[in-house]
Amino acid sequence: MIKAWLKQFDAAREINSRLKARQAVSRYRRTVAHYSALDEAPISDAWRARAQVLSRSPKGRDLRIFFVGTDEQQDKSGFLQALERLGDVRCFVREDGSWGQNDPAPYQQRRERNTLRLEQLFADNASEGWVPQLLIAQTWGCLIEPACFSRLRDRYGVFVVNIAMDDRHQYWGSKVAGMWDGTYPLIPHIDLTLTAAPEAVGWYRKEGGVALYFPEASDPEIFHPMPDLPKIHDVSFVGVRYGIRERIVNALRQAGVSVSAYGTGWEGGRIANENVPKLFAQSKIVLGVGTIGHCDDFFALKLRDFDAPMSGSCYLTHDNSDLHHLYDVGTEIATYTCVDDCVEKARSMLSDKVRINLIGEAARRRACRDHSWDRRLSDLLSSLETLSGIQG
């Protein structure tokens, strides 16, 4: 109650935000230091055998995939569609038919419900003769009991994969009853982690797990140029209003740059998921903010790092070093280092229509070639074959 009351005051909110930022960075640095002193564990023969079974499974409609999602809008903005092109997909839904694991129930009740529901769905599908070869989840120990995945693997022979998009700040999670509840506690119970933080690959392997770098991606059929529509937005931004996001948008507007901002807290309100592709396509510049939580200089990849370039519009975002391995920065996307640099870059590019168009066209080509969800899943299967020891 005291914490909520204090948040009513700007100064208290600012102090709270800075404390959270310092805690996130400090925990990350401790994690990096911890794993720098450890060696990677070798991949076991048992793991290779399980991976070979999956790699040799028929593809197309004969590959049965069970997907455990979390955010319906995000899951259905390209990833689920790519999964459905890869195989026969069934998904986790709660008893009332609603999507994913974000049950509004209290912590422990939600975890128990999700665990029981997942095991029940597997049993129901098996009774119909449908047993998946592959389970793909995007989950944490706070949402499903980790040992549940071992039980499913032992009972049904399913190969278990977890997607971890937030490892820089959610790898450990919180400690509840002496146990971590992030992605870390899942390691003994799953076969493979797909992490969007390249350095985290080593963390999992040093804990005896197997992991691959798996940045987000996009769908070229959903996010694409719309040349018949005018570019009516100078700059657009989609995301909750807080912290550095608000400072950047305010600074742009104070400099005379028109910004169409959507999401909780902005005057534009939340935008329907199906309207985001049109917004991006009709924007001269799509603005990205690459920071984690309340931090100003701690970055992670975002879904819009791929959806915006795929739309064929000019993308301007934080100079996150991860992006330099995914795009030709300056040619395919543009980046900024601070609020003032963002304002300067946006104003400069808005005065140069040719440059904006060239960046957007180059971004679309690169995204289609390297950053589609279909490409990610194809690369995943190829990597599994390599790791499992299957030759040619």
* CATH among 3.40.50.2000, 2.130.10.10, 1.20.140.10, 1.10.8.60 for 45-217+373-388: 3.40.50.2000
> For 211-275, where are the alpha helices, taking DSSP H only?
243-254
Residue 93 has a pLDDT of 98
CATH classification number, 233-370, choose in 3.20.20.140, 3.40.605.10, 3.40.50.300, 3.40.50.2000 = 3.40.50.2000
Report pTM.
0.94
Per-residue model confidence (pLDDT) at position 57: 87
The amino acid that residue 374 corresponds to is D
Exposure string for 293-306, b = 16+ CB within 10 A, e = fewer: bbbbebbbbbbbbb
Would you say residue 5 has pLDDT above 90? Answer: no
Question: Which distant-in-sequence residues (6+ apart) come within 8 Å of 249 by Cβ?
Answer: 237, 241, 259, 261, 266, 287
- Rounded to a whole number, what is the largest CA-CA distance in the chain? 63
Out of 10-19, 166-175, 189-198, 241-250, least confident range: 10-19
Quickly list H helices, 61-174.
72-74, 80-86, 107-127, 147-156, 167-170
What phi and psi values does residue 21 have, to the nearest 5 degrees?
Answer: -65, -45
Specify the pLDDT at position 16.
80
Residue among 378, 85, 70, 376 at smallest CA distance from 217:
376
Q: What is the mean pLDDT of residues 171-197?
A: 98
Is it the case that residue 344 has pLDDT exceeding 90? yes
* DSSP 8-state secondary structure symbol assigned to residue 351: T
Is 13's pLDDT higher than 80?
no
Give residue 61's pLDDT: 78
Rounded CA-CA distance 198/136 in Å is 19
Over residues 37-49, the pLDDT tens digits come to: 999 999 999 999 9
- Structure tokens, 188: 């003994």
Token pair in block for residue 346: 């946006």
Residue 10 has pLDDT above 90, yes or no: no
Instruction: Please give the structure tokens belonging to residue 78.
Output: 């390209």
User: Rounded to the nearest 10 degrees, how much is the dihedral formed by the CA atoms of 194, 82, 144, 63?
Assistant: -90
Q: Residue 363's pLDDT band (boundaries 50, 70, 90)?
A: very high
Location of structure tokens 């665990």: 115
Beta strands in the chain (DSSP E): 64-68, 88-91, 134-137, 159-164, 175-176, 179-180, 192-195, 211-213, 233-238, 259-262, 283-287, 314-318, 334-336
- 372-381: pLDDT as tens digits: 999 999 999 9
